[in-house]
Every structure is written in C-alpha cells, then in structure tokens.
Amino acid sequence: MRIFSGIQPTGRKHLGNYIGAIRQYVEGQDRGDPAIYCIVDLHATSVSYEPEALPGYVYDTTAMVLAAGLDPSRCILFRQSDVTEHTELCWLLCAVTAYGDLTRMHQFKEKSARERELVRTSLFLYPVLQAADILAYKTDEVPVGDDQRQHVELARDIAERFNATYGELFVVPRHRIPEVGARIMDLQDPGVKMSTTGSNEQGRVYVDDEPEAIMKKLGSAVTDSGREVVRAPDKAGISNLIEILSVVRGVAPEEVEREFDGEGYGVFKGAVAQAVADYLAPVRERYRELRPDEDALERTLSEGATRARELAAETMAEVRTAMGVGPPH
C-alpha cells in the first residue's frame, strides 16, 4: 500500500498540525510500501509569502517531522519543487478537472478572502496540484486532517475522470482522517481551527514552545460558564480540550470525561497543559538538535527527491502516452 501526504512549510508547526497530520505520518511509515511525505514549497507560493524566508521554513518543517519520528530509511521525504513531475502532472490533470469543482473549494474561498492585494491563479489551482502530488505516486491512502477532506475527494474525482477518459491508469486514493483530533481548534476561539495564519498567538500551541508557554496558553484556554468536563455542542472549548487530552494520552474521550467527572475546569485544564507539555518535550528537544545542521537536512531532502522522482517519472511516462502528449513510444 502506498501512502502519500504533504505538509506546508509555513513557519512553526502547532499542535493542530502535529495531532492532525504529523503523528499519522510517523505511524504510516511502517504500513506504507512506500510511505511518501513531501514538504510542499510550491503550495506555499499560492498566497502572499516571503521568498527569502521560504527555504528556512522548508528546513524548519523537515527538522520538525524528523524530530517527530520520521526515519528517511523507512519512508521517502522530499521537497516538492525538486520533483518537476508534480507541476507537469498538475497541468495535464487540468484537462480532466471541472472549473465548477474548483469554485466550490472551501479553502479557496477562505484564503482568497484574506488575500487583499492579489488572489493568485495558483491558489485557485492549488487543489489540482495537490491531486497531482497524490496521483503521481498511485497513492492508496492519504493521511490528512479534516480540513483536507474536500481536497482528497476532488483528487478522487480527478482520478476517476482521467481513468474514464484516457484508460485505467490512476489509483483512486482514499483519505485517512483520525477519528479523534482531526480538527484541533483555537484555544481562544474554539469556533475556528488552530491555524498558523488565522488564529492569534495565544490561541495556538507551537510544538517547540517552552513548557511554561504551553502551560500558560492551555491554562487560559476559553471554556464556558459551566463546570462539567463533557463534550457538547455548546461546550466547544471543553470539547476541544477533551480531544487534545484523549490524543495525547492515547485513550478514548469517554475515559477523559469519566476521569474528570466532578473535578471542575481548573483541575482539568491543568492536567491537559501538563500532559501536552510532556508530550511535546522530546520532539522539541530533538528538533533543536536537528535544525542547525542544514547540510544534513538538505541531504535528506535531496536523497528523498531522487527516490520520489523514480516513482513519479514512471507514472508520467504512462500519463503522456495515455494523453498523446510528447513523442510516441
């Protein structure tokens, strides 16, 4: 079974990134044959960004996923722009992508609303490039957070339309979304997901935050006027904290609710804060060891790109032949 997923190099990674995606990557490298993970620097150019900062963000993200437990000997880890088959396939897949499908993408609507000066065509085509990322490797499974569900469904539609038009070539991928922790919410505004760009500094816990900062942020997390530690539609803040503790401890949310029945919010938030600080400590320490050695990080990405290119090139040869593009074979 082939597993593929990509991660944005957009600055520091937060708890939502870690729980929703990165921990799935680590688990997947022992199931995938192979497991393929990509630092999607081309996607980062679809919104306003700082060109001089992007290479450093790629290294930040590479060091973070390695610190979390990715092992380049057990998976393929590479930088998206190093494998040009992704962009070629993106263009060719546009031939089987409906314009109307792209206009309905939630993330395009959300992100374009924030881009005041220029809404880039690349933002509109982002889901097609994401489909190319996935389909280039004939991926069976895509581990993602809940916010990427619609994009993976579009990749499925594109694969099916291509197969119906040009012949059975692509595997139709399926998403793998965790039952608990698929969407970690902002600590100060639990109605929106934790985000690098959309939430405020106190609303997100960074993986490399110091323990004191983690304790303070979770200790001041917004809850509600009640005292019961239970999940409910009108208790978004507490529900979010229950999910976080459930994932960190590796137990069911119901078990968390039973443990803190009658305890009140103060005790509960303190327990969540301590558990998260302990959970992230080894990753933070390992990240600080890995991040300074950019030559080693570059070697890892380069070696991964060589392996990824071999797989993607095989797919592209088949796609060109099926579509009648390039010299006949």
Backbone torsions φ then ψ of 285, nearest 5 degrees: -65, -40
Helix (H, G, I), strand (E, B) or coil at 79: strand
Pick from 37-41, 53-57, 182-186, 208-212: least confident: 182-186
Q: List domains and CATH numbers for the chain.
A: 3-176+294-323 (3.40.50.620), 201-288 (1.10.240.10)
* pTM greater than 0.85 (yes/no): yes
Is the pLDDT at 154 greater than 90, yes or no?
Answer: yes
Predicted confidence (pLDDT) per residue in 229-278, tens digit:
999 988 999 999 999 999 999 999 999 999 998 888 999 999 999 999 99
In the sheet with 35-39, reading across from the earlier edge strand, the strands are: 76-79, 35-39, 3-7, 141-143, 174-176
Q: What is the pLDDT of residue 198?
A: 64
